[in-house]
Structure 1
């Protein structure tokens, strides 16, 4: 039976906890629900026990609607209060997945072949997107990718990139009553991090400023021991290439800490369609890892400002309006 209202489907998906790395149950649910609605559904292996889903209708789909089924922790169960859907994944991005399914079924009813790509791992290493990009299951006709993230129902003209990196300092343990006999790694790290706010970072006329924050801190072995080690995990939002950003941060550190780069994605300029309000997204997406799927567009209901919070939500009216918007986007982007 075709799905016309994204709300029940969004709630069904949100009832299943799917923190990144533990997406198996929600992928199985989505696979069953799509198959029941007549989609041709195939799994794209990502890692043991983890798969993306590719669902197609008709032959030779040109456009692909794609978003992710994984979420950040902690799990927050769904609830409807008045005209708002609350819970983990409401806007990032299970509500979006539900709206895309409904839009796909409308398009299918019009005889427009379309693909749905539901990936895992977006919130961490983008490994689901990388697996999909390399998959032989990708339709050879695919040339338009409409990615779903919460953009407040605007069409993003660009997204910042991202760089995760760890700073690690080494010291020498000693009894805390005799600090001169040791070398505090935590003190070294704190002094270094205190310079972050004064660091000159690149800016871009379209994408805005590069930003960086300290996400996690760790170090030491006990409160009465001079800390022999310390580390900070940082994330920068980029308007330049990850390579140039890493070089900048490495020059700033200047040997005062070890610099260990992590996952990175570049900034991206995106396509537009007449009739849609536009914006710039400061967050990173799967789009850089899905280059083989065609010209990228980015749109989604809800606000990134409430994603990743305990108050994550999306207005139900906006969620329902996204169905029409995705349908119009496919038609407009394909031409």
Structure 2
């Protein structure tokens, strides 16, 4: 069958610009939102992802987002978390609202530039999924519900989630912060409601030995040797950490190991940074197990004139149970940490967002345009359902 010249040329152009693994399908790029809303969420998402906002460098994206929200007739407050780093709180006619919709605007390194392949509908770049892929549809969803819910909605976008949650901690501790009945957190959850996630405990093993020439190692105390022995004890402990049917096994990851200065020098210092994802129990319980398993190593190095210290990254937190009892949503549990436990208060909490954690933090972080658009609809559905649940509880 012969194609008209114009159709043939268009087909060739689309084929040439597409991934060679897929033929052009115009339905991929069709919108499931009204054209104006589709354009709004794609534009907002692009502007957010185009701005590098690796944790510690969120000033630019925070101020741009504040300006954008003001143009949409929100009242905006900037809370300074540390120098040139701001949480962005936005609301309509009243500051005290029933519902808070929140996510984070910082990303992990390194920065990857934004791209949008209209042929495949794929949108990528650092933060395109985690978590600007939640921020953009959250804003568009709330904007469309303000009148229906009488402006009983607030937005909060925080810094620092990727490195311990200092932004949400600061907001939680803010003397002048409102309290909410419902908080909807945005993270990549494959567009499913999360029923809970593992807890977290981070720590360092720090060893100080005594430097010497490697030809005469008995004249020194090798911090590297001590650290290897300590990590061996942690490998043994990994087989005996608490577990649960809901979350599976507690895991322990040796994230970074540093030691010594050269191959021909007995190492004077060494350290390992370790992350524990708790499937059961408490940080205190696992902390006690770690101390117990390292006590002999610690005693031996001290007898040789060295030191072994444990440095804890905060108090940590146990597994986090999250509300997921909303009809019409698939559910799952996840292994990663979020800001959910960092916001204090007696509120219902939901965790939801487009995109997959399996591509977050990678050089191929991306999601489909339709996922962004569907997220707008899903966030609206979730907000309305949560609002009705809250109303029913108050009546009862």
TM bracket (short chain): over 0.9
Q: Sort the Cα spacing of 1:230 and 1:130 in 2 relative to 1 into closer, same or farther, 3 A.
A: same
Whether 1:128 and 2:179 are equivalent positions in the alignment is no
Give 2:209's aligned residue: 171
Alignment of 1:64-75 (within 5 A): 64-75=100-111
Q: How many residues align?
A: 334
Which of 95, 104, 117 is the aligned partner of 2:133? Answer: 95
Give the secondary-structure state (helix, strand or coil) at the position aligned to 1:231.
Answer: strand
Q: Sort the Cα spacing of 1:26 and 1:134 in 2 relative to 1 into closer, same or farther, 3 A.
A: same
Give the secondary-structure state (helix, strand or coil) at the position aligned to 2:277.
Answer: strand
Q: CA deviation at 1:137?
A: 4.2
Give 1:225's aligned residue: 265
Q: Sort the Cα spacing of 1:2 and 1:275 in 2 relative to 1 into closer, same or farther, 3 A.
A: closer
Q: Sort the Cα spacing of 1:293 and 1:9 in 2 relative to 1 into closer, same or farther, 3 A.
A: farther
Give 1:270's aligned residue: 322
Which of 382, 385, 388 is the aligned partner of 1:329? Answer: 382
CA contact (8 A) 1:64 1:293 kept: no
Q: CA deviation at 1:172?
A: 1.6
Give the secondary-structure state (helix, strand or coil) at the position aligned to 1:34.
Answer: helix
Task: Return the alpha-carbon distance in structure 2 between the equivalents of residues 321 and 252 of structure 1.
Answer: 49
Q: Sort the Cα spacing of 1:36 and 1:326 in 2 relative to 1 into closer, same or farther, 3 A.
A: same
Query: Any unmatched runs of 5+ in structure 1?
Result: none
TM-score for both structures, normalised by structure 2: 0.81
CA contact (8 A) 1:44 1:51 kept: yes
- Aligned Cα root-mean-square deviation (Å): 1.7
Give 2:365's aligned residue: 312
Q: Sort the Cα spacing of 1:255 and 1:326 in 2 relative to 1 into closer, same or farther, 3 A.
A: farther
Structure with max Cα Rg: 2
Q: CA deviation at 1:132?
A: 1.1
Q: CA deviation at 1:111?
A: 3.7
Task: Return the alpha-carbon distance in structure 2 between the equivalents of residues 2 and 110 of structure 1.
Answer: 17
Which of 285, 294, 298 is the aligned partner of 1:253? Answer: 294
Give 1:45's aligned residue: 80
Q: CA deviation at 1:276?
A: 0.7
User: Which region of structure 1 is more displaced relative to structure 2, 52-61 or 67-76?
Assistant: 52-61
Task: Return the alpha-carbon distance in structure 1 between the equivalents of residues 290 and 39 of structure 2.
Answer: 49
Give 1:203's aligned residue: 243
Give 1:119's aligned residue: 158
Task: Return the alpha-carbon distance in structure 1 between the equivalents of residues 129 and 78 of structure 2.
Answer: 24
Q: Sort the Cα spacing of 1:77 and 1:265 in 2 relative to 1 into closer, same or farther, 3 A.
A: farther
Give 2:193's aligned residue: 155
TM-score for both structures, normalised by structure 1: 0.95
Give the secondary-structure state (helix, strand or coil) at the position aligned to 1:54.
Answer: strand
Give 1:33's aligned residue: 68
Give 2:20's aligned residue: none
CA contact (8 A) 2:233 2:293 kept: no
Q: Which runs of 4+ in 1 moved over 4 A?
A: 1-4
Which of 48, 51, 56 is the aligned partner of 1:21? Answer: 56
Q: CA deviation at 1:3?
A: 7.8
Q: CA deviation at 1:265?
A: 3.3
Task: Return the alpha-carbon distance in structure 1 between the equivalents of residues 384 and 143 of structure 2.
Answer: 14
Q: CA deviation at 1:150?
A: 0.7
Task: Return the alpha-carbon distance in structure 1 between the equivalents of residues 348 and 176 of structure 2.
Answer: 18
